[in-house]
Copies of this chain bind each other. A is one copy, B any other.
């Protein structure tokens, strides 16, 4: 007996059914499971849906989906001291036997004696001195190995975890969510590129060439007939504050449509991002969770968040309260 011609052939029905199931499964998979269903998560998803909706008023072609992320305090822990500073201080202790003069020279003396007041008194100039003394005068390959070895061995004091485990799980999900929607994700950090590139691919899925940061002056030299890149004792570019839009323009060559930061050092990057045409997304991570991480903002010596917090309120930028908006902070929690 012939089937009524209106009914669809069974294999076709099966395909429709499979299709529906896949769509349901997709809709049910939360791309940001470590985020509470509060305003920041909703604004992120609304933005991504708007810029990826073909034919929609806010559609942005894949080539222009550039997202810039600060690193310290935005993707990983920066308190009580920036990880690169912890590294430099450890290097001072390690190299001290070869530098007897450091015993009587600040800020080296303070670092060796554990006198953080003396170290702080030397200011940014002292800090740059320490960074130059501990991370130049060697090849880029030697420095990469030094950084990798230190990160593989050193646990932080509060959590007793490797620094590369002190990365924010909700931000990892956000990076993956943006990439799965055609975004190219960049780091734009005050940290030095040579300190970040050895590990950002494993930690964040961000390859070395998508890491923008401060740079040391370098030079091509020959060592035993082999070319090497020598790190010279001079900071050539500081990728912080007004330096961040400059770093973006120099390294990326395109204005981001989304920018993520956590401090006043990110203010100009967010302003630069906001000043472009079309849909824009600016977000600040606010450290509000003294229990699960740290709580600090307007008066902090690291990641000071003051002017940018006011600007976020005035301009409607998204502000994430780590305490209220994140279900978990680290994967291990």
Tell me, yes or no, whether A37 is within 8 Å of chain B by CB: no
Q: Is A252 an interface residue (CB 8 A)?
A: yes
With a 10 A CB-CB cut-off, give which of A186, A197, A201, A209 has the most chain B CB atoms.
Answer: A209
- A227 interface hit (Cβ, 8 Å): yes
Complex Cα–Cα for A249 and B232 (A): 13
Which of the 9-residue segments A69-77, A89-97, A218-226 touches chain B? A218-226
Q: Is A246 within 8 A of B220, CB to CB?
A: yes
Does chain B have a CB within 8 A of A137?
no
Residues of B near A146 (CB, < 8 A) are: none
Contact between A254 and B208, CB atoms less than 8 A apart = yes
Q: Is A128 an interface residue (CB 8 A)?
A: no
Q: Is A211 an interface residue (CB 8 A)?
A: yes
The total of chain A residues at the interface (CB under 8 A) is 34
Q: Are A201 and B63 in contact (CB under 8 A)?
A: yes
With A226-B275, A242-B220, A268-B220 already in contact, the answer to whether A209 and B207 are too (CB < 8 A) is no
What are some 29 contacts across the A-B interface (CB < 8 A)? A63-B201, A66-B209, A140-B249, A184-B207, A184-B209, A193-B250, A193-B253, A197-B253, A207-B254, A208-B252, A209-B210, A209-B253, A209-B254, A211-B253, A218-B246, A218-B249, A219-B242, A219-B246, A220-B242, A220-B243, A220-B246, A220-B268, A220-B272, A226-B275, A227-B268, A227-B271, A227-B275, A229-B245, A229-B246
Shortest 6 CB-CB distances between A and B: which pairs? A208-B253, A220-B242, A197-B253, A209-B252, A229-B249, A220-B245
